C-alpha cells in the first residue's frame, strides 16, 4: 500500500511508514494545569506518544505554555466553534490543532487559522465525525454512511487546500465499528493524508475495548492508520494500555513486557490470575521487549514457558521456572510473581 504523507508533530513524526503512535485525551479541566501536567507525564510513562486536550476558550488557551514547558510529548489542542481560540492556541505553542472546519464559521475564518498554522509551521487534524455530519450530506445519503463521511472529509480538505495548506492529518470516526472501518478504507483508497484512527463513543470498559480493538485492529492489519486512540469512558491510562496492547498484538510495536497466560481449567492449582495482574501492573514502565509465560499446569506449560524469554509451569504448591528455554529451578507458588519481577529487573539492568 502507498505510504502516507509525512507530518511532524512536535518531536514526533507520523506517516510515511514511521511507527504508529498511541494517543489519548485529557479528562481534566484545561485550566487545572498542575493536575494536567501530572496526568500527561504519567501517560507518557505508560507509553502515550501524543496527548490531546480540549481548549474551549481563551482562558484555557493561556494555560498552554505552562503545559508545553513541563511535558515532553506533543500537545494537541482540540478546538470547536471559535476560530480565535484556535489562533491563540497556535500562538501559545501547541504542536497541532484538531478542528472541524464546518463548525468554526466558514471559509474566511478557516483562512485566518491557515495563515497562523503556516506562520508557526504546525499541522492540523481535521476531525470528521458521524455525529456532526453536515446537513446537506445527511439529506443526500440518508444517514452517516462511509461515503458521506469521506465526502465530508474531502470537503474539509478542500477548504485548506484552497488556501495553499496541505500539512493535514485526518480522522474519520463513527460509533459504529463497521462504518468506521469502511469509511477509513474508502478514504485511504483515494488520499495519502495520514489517518488518526478511533471508534468514537466506543463506550466503557469491556464493550469499549472490544469495539475499539475490532475497529482499529482491522484497519491496522490492512496497513491503514498512522496514529490511534482507544476512546473509552473512563481513565485515560486504560486508553494508552489498550492501544499499546493492540499494536503489540499485531506486531506493530516491539517493546514492553508481554505476559502470556493460559485460560486455566480444573487442572490448575495456582492463582495464576493474581500473578499475571501483579506482573503486568508492576512492569508497565518497562520498554524492553520481554515475553513472560505464566502457565497453570504441565500440559502446555513447559512448552509455552520454554518459548518465552522466561516463564513458569505451575504445579500444586510449586512451579518450574524456565529462562531462555532452559529449566532454571523450582519455586514455591507464593514466590512466583516476586521471583519473575526480580529476574525482569536483573535483565533490564544488564
334 labeled binding residue: no
116 labeled binding residue: no
Specify the residue for cell string 493460559: 262
- 281 Cβ contact list (under 8 Å, min separation 6): none
- 204 Cβ contact list (under 8 Å, min separation 6): 232, 233, 234
Q: Is 158 exposed, middle or buried (0-12, 13-18, 19+ CB in 10 A)?
A: exposed
State whether residue 311 is helix, strand or coil.
strand
SS (HEC) of 15-39: CCCCCCEEEEECCCCCCCHHHHHHH
Determine contact, residues 50/76, Cβ cutoff 8 Å: yes
DSSP 221-280: HTT--SEEE---SS-HHHHHHHHHHHHHHTTS---SEEEEE----TT--S-HHHHHHHHH
How much is the pLDDT for 185?
96
160-88-71 Cα angle (round to 5): 100
CA neighbours within 13 Å on the CB side: how many for 5? Answer: 16
Per-residue cell: 219: 484497519
Per-domain residue ranges of the chain: 7-249, 257-349
Specify the residue for cell string 471559509: 107
Gap between the Cα atoms of 40 and 67, Å rounded: 9
304 labeled binding residue: yes
Gap between the Cα atoms of 333 and 269, Å rounded: 9
β-pairing, 7-9 vs 168-173, is unpaired
Determine contact, residues 52/24, Cβ cutoff 8 Å: yes
Residues β-bridged to residue 14 = 7
CB atoms within 10 A of CB 192: 13
Residue 316 phi, psi dihedral angles, 5° rounding: -100, 95
Specify the residue for cell string 481513565: 235
CATH assignment of 257-349, given 3.40.50.150, 3.30.413.10, 3.30.200.100, 3.40.640.10? 3.30.413.10
pLDDT in tens, the chain (350 residues): 678 999 999 999 999 999 999 999 998 888 888 999 999 999 999 999 999 999 999 999 999 999 999 999 999 999 988 899 999 999 999 999 998 776 776 778 888 899 999 999 999 999 888 888 888 888 998 999 999 999 999 988 988 999 999 999 999 998 899 999 999 999 999 999 999 999 876 566 788 889 999 999 999 999 999 999 998 888 899 999 999 999 999 999 988 899 988 887 767 778 889 999 999 999 988 889 999 999 887 666 667 667 789 988 888 888 889 888 788 889 998 999 999 999 999 998 87
State the CATH class of domain 7-249: alpha beta
CB atoms within 10 A of CB 190: 10
β-pairing, 257-261 vs 50-54, is unpaired
48 labeled binding residue: no
Per-residue cell: 74: 506533543
Residues β-bridged to residue 247 = none
Q: What is the distance between the terminal CA atoms of the chain, rounded to a whole angstrom?
A: 40
Q: 40-67: b or e for each residue (b if 16 or more CB lie within 10 Å)? A: beebbebbbbbbbbbbbeeebbbbbeeb
How much is the pLDDT for 108?
81
Per-residue cell: 316: 500444586
How much is the pLDDT for 263?
82
CB atoms within 10 A of CB 225: 25
Amino acid at each position: 500500500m502507498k505510504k502516507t504523507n509525512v507530518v511532524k508533530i512536535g518531536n514526533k513524526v507520523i506517516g510515511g511508514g514511521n511507527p504508529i503512535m498511541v494517543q489519548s485525551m485529557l479528562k481534566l479541566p484545561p485550566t487545572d494545569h498542575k493536575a494536567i501536567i501530572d496526568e500527561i507525564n504519567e501517560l507518557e510513562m505508560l507509553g502515550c506518544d501524543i496527548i490531546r486536550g480540549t481548549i474551549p476558550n481563551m482562558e484555557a488557551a493561556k494555560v498552554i505554555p505552562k503545559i508545553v514547558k513541563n511535558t515532553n510529548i506533543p500537545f494537541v489542542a482540540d478546538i470547536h466553534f471559535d476560530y480565535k481560540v484556535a489562533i491563540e492556541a497556535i500562538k501559545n505553542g501547541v504542536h497541532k490543532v484538531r478542528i472541524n472546519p464546518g463548525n468554526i464559521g466558514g471559509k474566511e475564518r478557516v483562512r485566518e487559522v491557515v495563515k497562523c498554522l503556516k506562520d508557526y509551521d504546525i499541522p492540523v487534524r481535521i476531525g470528521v465525525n458521524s455525529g456532526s455530519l453536515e446537513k446537506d450530506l445527511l439529506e443526500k445519503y440518508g444517514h452517516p454512511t462511509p461515503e458521506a463521511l469521506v465526502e465530508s472529509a474531502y470537503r474539509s480538505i478542500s477548504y485548506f487546500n484552497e488556501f495553499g495548506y496541505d500539512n493535514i492529518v485526518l480522522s474519520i470516526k463513527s460509533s459504529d465499528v463497521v462504518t468506521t472501518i469502511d469509511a477509513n478504507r474508502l478514504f485511504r483508497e483515494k488520499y495519502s493524508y495520514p489517518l488518526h484512527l478511533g471508534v468514537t463513543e466506543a463506550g466503557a470498559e469491556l464493550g469499549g475495548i472490544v469495539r475499539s480493538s475490532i475497529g482499529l485492529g482491522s484497519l491496522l492489519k490492512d496497513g491503514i492508520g498512522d496514529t490511534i486512540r482507544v476512546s473509552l469512558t473512563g481513565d485515560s491510562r486504560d486508553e494508552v494500555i489498550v492501544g499499546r496492547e493492540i499494536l503489540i498484538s499485531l506486531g506493530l510495536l516491539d517493546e514492553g513486557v508481554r505476559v502470556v497466560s493460559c485460560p486455566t481449567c480444573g487442572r490448575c492449582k495456582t492463582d495464576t490470575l493474581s500473578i499475571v495482574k501483579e506482573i503486568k501492573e508492576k512492569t508497565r514502565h518497562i520498554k524492553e521487549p520481554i515475553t513472560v509465560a505464566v502457565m497453570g499446569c504441565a500440559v502446555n506449560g513447559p512448552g509455552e514457558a520454554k518459548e518465552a524469554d522466561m516463564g513458569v509451569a505451575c504445579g500444586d504448591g510449586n512451579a518450574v521456572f524456565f529462562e531462555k528455554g532452559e529449566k532454571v529451578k523450582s519455586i514455591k507458588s507464593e514466590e512466583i510473581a516476586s521471583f519473575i519481577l526480580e529476574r525482569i529487573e536483573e535483565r533490564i539492568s544488564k
